[in-house]
């Protein structure tokens, strides 16, 4: 049924549960896997040319690209060892990870299923929404949401 499954890998412990769910679906469907992580673009540090003009100098991210590359490559090896023949890895940056996944990565890699995780938001964050909810609302393909077993 599915031909290319995008597995959205977050920072932290949840990534393995999400990967395992996506891997299981890929094996059941004899599908390709696209492993994806979106670096959260948090801040552009300016360099001031004079009192009124500045140029963006560097972009600061919440997480480290090299660490994510290492993690995605480990998942790529696990998928290959499990019999998945076609595996791609994608790391990009965005201030809105959900839109990067649904509007850029999934269509760009012809993904027909997005596997992502969700966690229970508390307090004010409950009213602001979550990345999984935004992916579900804006995706042009099916979405499989992996619930957090610990919540």
Flag the least confident range among 22-36, 73-87, 110-124. Answer: 110-124
**pLDDT of 115 over the 80 cut:** yes
* Tokens linked to 57: 């100098």
Give residue 128's pLDDT band: very low, low, confident or very high (50, 70, 90): very low
Q: Does residue 73 surpass a pLDDT of 60? A: yes
- The three-point CA angle 18-138-3 to 5° equals 55
Dihedral angle computed from the Cα positions of residues 68, 100, 92 and 35, in that order, rounded to the nearest 10 degrees = 50
Q: What is the pLDDT of residue 127?
A: 47
pLDDT for 118: 84
Report percent pLDDT > 70 for the chain.
76
Number of H-type helices and E-type strands within the chain? 6, 6
**Domain edges within the chain:** 4-146
Q: 78 pLDDT exceeds 50?
A: yes
Looking at residue 89, its pLDDT comes to 97
Indicate the range of 59-73, 95-109, 128-142 predicted with least confidence: 59-73
Taking the model in full, what pTM does it have? 0.83
In the CATH hierarchy, which fold is given to the domain comprising 4-146?
Rossmann fold (3.40.50)
Handedness of CA 104, 8, 140, 125 (dihedral sign): negative
């Amino acid at each position: 049924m599915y031909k290319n499954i995008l597995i959205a890998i977050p920072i932290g412990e949840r990534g393995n549960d999400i990967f395992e769910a996506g891997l299981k679906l890929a094996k059941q469907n004899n599908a390709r896997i696209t492993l994806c992580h979106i670096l959260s673009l948090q801040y552009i540090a300016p360099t001031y040319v004079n009192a009124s003009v500045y140029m963006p100098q560097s972009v600061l991210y919440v997480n480290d690209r090299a660490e994510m590359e290492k993690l995605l490559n480990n998942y790529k090896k696990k998928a290959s060892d499990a019999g998945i023949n076609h595996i791609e890895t994608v790391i990009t940056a965005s201030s809105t990870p959900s839109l990067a996944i649904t509007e850029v990565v999934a269509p760009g890699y012809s993904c027909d299923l997005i596997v992502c995780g969700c966690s229970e938001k508390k307090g004010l964050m409950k009213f602001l929404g979550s990345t999984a909810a935004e992916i579900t609302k804006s995706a042009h393909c099916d979405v499989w949401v992996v619930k957090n077993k610990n919540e």
